[in-house]
C-alpha cells in the first residue's frame, strides 16, 4: 500500500450563502465519506482544514518579503487535506471521485507521498 495526499481545492463552502439546512447536508456527506474511507481501510490521516487567510514569503531584490496571501485564485485555493492509503495512484484517484467536494464546485488534487525504500 502507498500513501497519497488529497488536496482539496476550490469549492464555495467557505463564506458561502448556503442555508443551514444545505450546510448540514454537505457536512453529513463529508462525514459519511470519511467514514467510508475509514471503514475500507483507506484513511491514513483525516488531515485538517486550512484557514482561507495566510502570508506568502518570497525573496525579491530587497531580501525576503512578506505579503498577505495565499496568492491562489479562489477556484484553486487549498481548503484542506487528507492522507489516504491505496494500492497505486490510479486507485487513489478513483477513490477520490466519491468526495462530496465536487458537489460544491471544488476539485481534488491527488499526489503520491514519496516513499523511501531502504
Binding site for another protein (CB under 8 A): 13-24, 26-28, 30-31, 34-35, 38, 43-49, 79-80, 82, 100
d(CA 8, CA 99): 10
Instruction: Report d(CA 9, CA 109) in Å as an integer.
Output: 7
Closest to another protein by CB, 43 or 93 = 43
Shortest CB 63 distance to another protein, Å: 33
Residue 110 CB, shortest distance to another protein, in Å, is 16
Question: Between 31 and 65, whose beta carbon lies closer to another protein?
Answer: 31
Question: How many CB atoms are closer than 10 A to CB 101?
Answer: 23
Rank residues 43 and 110 by Cβ distance to another protein and give the closer one: 43
Cβ 68 to another protein, closest distance in Å?
Answer: 17
Can you say whether the dihedral through the CA atoms of 69, 72, 76, 82 is positive or negative?
negative
Phi, psi of 48 (to 5 degrees): -150, 150
Amino acid at each position: 500500500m502507498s500513501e497519497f495526499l488529497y488536496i482539496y481545492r476550490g469549492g464555495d463552502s467557505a463564506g458561502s450563502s448556503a442555508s443551514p439546512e444545505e450546510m448540514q447536508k454537505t457536512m453529513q456527506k463529508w462525514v459519511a465519506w470519511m467514514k467510508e474511507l475509514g471503514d475500507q481501510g483507506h484513511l491514513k490521516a483525516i488531515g485538517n482544514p486550512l484557514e482561507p487567510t495566510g502570508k506568502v514569503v518570497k525573496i525579491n531584490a530587497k531580501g525576503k518579503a512578506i505579503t498577505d496571501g495565499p496568492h491562489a485564485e479562489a477556484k484553486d485555493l487549498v481548503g484542506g487535506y487528507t492522507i489516504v492509503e491505496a494500492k497505486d495512484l490510479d486507485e487513489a484517484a478513483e477513490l477520490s471521485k466519491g468526495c462530496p467536494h465536487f458537489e460544491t464546485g471544488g476539485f481534488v488534487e491527488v499526489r503520491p507521498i514519496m516513499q523511501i525504500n531502504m
